[in-house]
Amino acid sequence: MEALTTANRLTIGSTANWWPLVLCAGLVFTLVSHLGFMPLDTGDEARRALVSLEMMLSGDYITPTLHGERYFNKPPLFNWLIIASYRLFGNYSSFALRFPMLVSLLLLGLALFWFVRKEINPIVGGAAALMMLTNGRVLLYDSMLGLIEITFALVTYTAIVLVYRYDKKRSYWWLYLTTYALTAAAFLLKGLPPVAFQGLTLLGWFVYTRRTRLLFHPAHFAGIAVFLLITGAYYWTYFSRNAIPLQEVAGVLFTESAKRTGLYFGWGATLLHLITFPFELTYHFAPFTLLLVLLIRRGIGKILASHPFVAFNAVSFSSTVVIYWLSPQVYGRYLIGLMPMLFTVLAYLYYEHSSPASRGRWWVERIWLVTTIVLAVGCWAVMIHPTTRVLPGAFAKTATLFVLLSGLAWLMLRDARNRLGLTIAVLIVVRMGFNWFALPGRAVKREFYRDTAVKAARLTLGHPLYGYKTTVGDGPATDVSSFHITLTRGDILRKTSKKIPGAYYIADSASLAHESARTVAQLVLFDRHPASIVVFE
C-alpha cells in the first residue's frame, strides 16, 4: 500500500496555507462576475423562472402554474427561493434568478469541506470541496444556470452525511429526525428521488455495518412522521384550495421520477446504459473522475474500510448511484448530489494512499499536465476566430490566460506533490477564459430572443394575448419567450384553442394553416421559431 508520509503531508499543508485562499477567491470571482451576464436560458431554467413569475402575478404561492395551467412536475420550494431572490434584489434579472443556485453551490462547498475536515483532515476536505465546485459539469454549465439541482445537491448531501455523523454519536433520534426533515425539504424541491436516496443510504450503511436492527428503531418511525408532517402540511394546503384528485398530482410526480428508468425504456436500453454509464459519469465530472483509476488496486476494499468515514462515503455513493445506473435517460446534473461522496473517496486516496510515483496517479497527472499545455497554446485560437478576436481587450485577455496556464504547467513539472491543486487552479483559469470569450456569443443570441419577445409584448399592450394551440400542438410560445412576454405585459400568457373576439394570439404557420386571421406583426421566438401575432376574423 502506497501512501504519502506524514512529512510529505505536512509539507503540502505548510507550503500551501495561502494557496487554498487564492483558489477560493479566484473561484468565487469567476462564478459571481458573470452570473447574470447571459439572459434567460431555454429549457428547465426558463420553466423555473416562468413558474415563479406566474406565482407572483397570481398571488397564489401554493399552486404552481405554467401558462396558467396547474404544474405538478415539481413541488414549489425552489420557486419560493427564486421569488425570495426576486424580492431581495427588487428585479427579475438573470442574476436574481440564479442567486439561490450560487448560494447553494458555495454552501455545498463549505458543507463538504466542514464534514471532511472534521472526519479526515483539512487537506482532503479542501480538495474534495474544490473538486466538487470545479469539475467540468458544474463549473462550465450548472454554475451558470438557475436550476434546482445544485440546491437539491446541498440538501441531499447534508441529509446523507448526517446519517454518519449522528450514527457515530449514537444519537439516533437526531439522526432520523434531521435527515427525514431534510428529505422532506428535498422532496419539496424535486419530488420522489430523495425518498429513494434516504432509504438506500440507511439500508446500505446499516447492512454494511451489520446493524439492520437500527432500521426498526422507534426514532425511525418518528422521522417518517416528520417527513409526512412537513410534506403533508403543504399538500393539505394545496388540496384545500384546489379541488382535484390526489392521484392526479401523485401520478405526475411518479411519472417524472420513473420516466427515465428501465420501466419506460425497456431491457435493451437499460443493458446498454449499464455499460456506458461509468464512462458518462467520468466524462461529465472530468477531470477529477480520472482518479477513479486509484480504485483499481489490490486491497482497495481494506483501504476504504480502514477509515469509517471514507467507508461510509463509498457505501453511500454505491448504494444511491444505482438509481441512475439503472435509468437509461439520465442527465449529468442529476448526479451532482451524489458526487460529494465520490470526490471525498478520491481525494482521500490521492493524498493518503498514493504518491506521485503510483502508476495510476502518474498517468492521470500526465494527462492533466499535457491538457494544461495544450490549453496554454490553444488559447491563442481566440485571436484567429472572427467572433472572438474583435471582443474588447481580446489580446490582453488571451495573453493573461497564456501566462497563467503556462505558469501552472511549469509548476506541475516542478511540484509533484500537489498536482491536483494545480489542476483545480487550471480549471478556474479556464472558467475565466470561458467568461471572457464563450459567453459573449451566447449572450448575443439570447438577447435577440429576449428583445424579440419584449417587442411582441409591447405591440399587444392593451389587448388580451394568448398563445394559440391546436389539438395537435402546444402552441409556439416557449417558456423563454413566455417569460419575457409575461414580465413585460404583467399578466400570465395562457395557451388556448378558443377564438376570443378582440384578443391577440401568438401563432405559427402550422397552427394557422386552415384559419382565417389578420396578421398584426411577425416575430421570431426561441429557438428560431417564426411566428405571428394575429387576430382571428
Tens-digit pLDDT profile for residues 296-320: 999 999 999 999 999 999 999 999 9
Measured at the CA of 145, the angle between CA 330 and CA 380, to 5 degrees, comes to 100
Reported as a single tens digit per residue, the pLDDT across 222-268 is 999 999 999 999 999 998 888 777 666 666 666 655 555 555 566 77
Alpha-carbon separation of residue 528 from 42, 387, 508, 523 (angstroms): 12, 20, 12, 10
User: How confident is the model over 461-474, as a mean pLDDT?
Assistant: 76
Q: Partners of 535 in the beta sheet?
A: 518
| Banded pLDDT at 30 (limits 50, 70, 90) | very high
Whether 514 has a pLDDT exceeding 90, the answer reads: no
Question: SS3 string of 336-353?
Answer: HHHHHHHHHHHHHHHHHC
Q: 14 or 392: which carries more pLDDT confidence?
A: 392
Whether 470 has a pLDDT exceeding 70, the answer reads: no
* DSSP one-letter string for 204-246: HHHHHTT-GGGGG-HHHHHHHHHHHHHHHHHHHHHHHH----H
Reported as a single tens digit per residue, the pLDDT across 201-216 is 999 999 999 999 999 9
Whether 13 has a pLDDT exceeding 50, the answer reads: no
Report CA 528 to chain centroid distance, whole Å. Answer: 26
- The pTM of the full predicted model, rounded to 2 decimals, is 0.91
Q: Select from 143, 112, 114 the least CA-distant residue to 128.
A: 112
Alpha-carbon separation of residue 42 from 80, 130, 449, 490 (angstroms): 20, 28, 10, 21
536, 516 Cβ separation under 8 angstroms: yes
Check residue 227 and give its pLDDT.
97
504-507 vs 494-496, strand pairing mode: unpaired
Q: Cα separation of 479 and 51, whole Å?
A: 9
147, 45 Cβ separation under 8 angstroms: yes
Q: 474534495: which residue's cell? A: 128
Q: What is the DSSP letter of 393?
A: T
Is residue 530 packed enough to be buried (19+ CB in 10 Å), middle (13-18) or exposed (0-12)?
exposed
Q: Which helix (H) or strand (E) holds 325?
A: helix 322-325
Alpha-carbon separation of residue 361 from 116, 210, 440, 456 (angstroms): 22, 34, 37, 57
Check residue 245 and give its pLDDT.
72
Check residue 266 and give its pLDDT.
63
User: How confident is the model over 361-387, as a mean pLDDT?
Assistant: 94
| Banded pLDDT at 2 (limits 50, 70, 90) | very low
Q: Cα separation of 523 and 452, whole Å?
A: 7
Check residue 11 and give its pLDDT.
39
Helix axes 193-208, 149-168, angle to 10 degrees: 30
Q: 434568478: which residue's cell? A: 97
* DSSP one-letter string for 136-189: HHHHTTGGGS--SHHHHHHHHHHHHHHHHHHHHTT-HHHHHHHHHHHHHHHHHH
Check residue 8 and give its pLDDT.
42
- Residue 213 in grid coordinates: 436492527
Rg for the chain (alpha carbons), in Å?
Answer: 26
Alpha-carbon separation of residue 31 from 80, 194, 281, 388 (angstroms): 23, 27, 23, 21
Check residue 92 and give its pLDDT.
95
Q: What separation, in Å, do the N-terminal and C-terminal C-alpha atoms of the chain show?
A: 81
Q: What is the DSSP letter of 329?
A: S
Whether 6 has a pLDDT exceeding 60, the answer reads: no
Of 59-73, 204-218, 464-478, which gets the smallest average pLDDT? 464-478
* Residues 6 or more apart whose Cβ sits within 8 Å of residue 147: 44, 45, 48, 101, 333
Of 118-132, 216-230, 307-321, 510-524, which gets the smallest average pLDDT? 510-524
Check residue 264 and give its pLDDT.
59
Check residue 262 and give its pLDDT.
55
* Residues 6 or more apart whose Cβ sits within 8 Å of residue 121: 9
* Residues 6 or more apart whose Cβ sits within 8 Å of residue 153: 104, 108, 336, 337, 339, 340
Mean confidence (pLDDT) of the chain: 88
Q: Cα separation of 496 and 468, whole Å?
A: 5
- Neighbour count for residue 48 (Cβ, 10 Å): 26
186, 152 Cβ separation under 8 angstroms: yes
- Measured in residues, the chain has a length of 537
Q: 420522489: which residue's cell? A: 192
Of 113-122, 157-166, 256-265, 327-336, which gets the smallest average pLDDT? 256-265
Check residue 522 and give its pLDDT.
81
User: How confident is the model over 12-41, as a mean pLDDT?
Assistant: 80
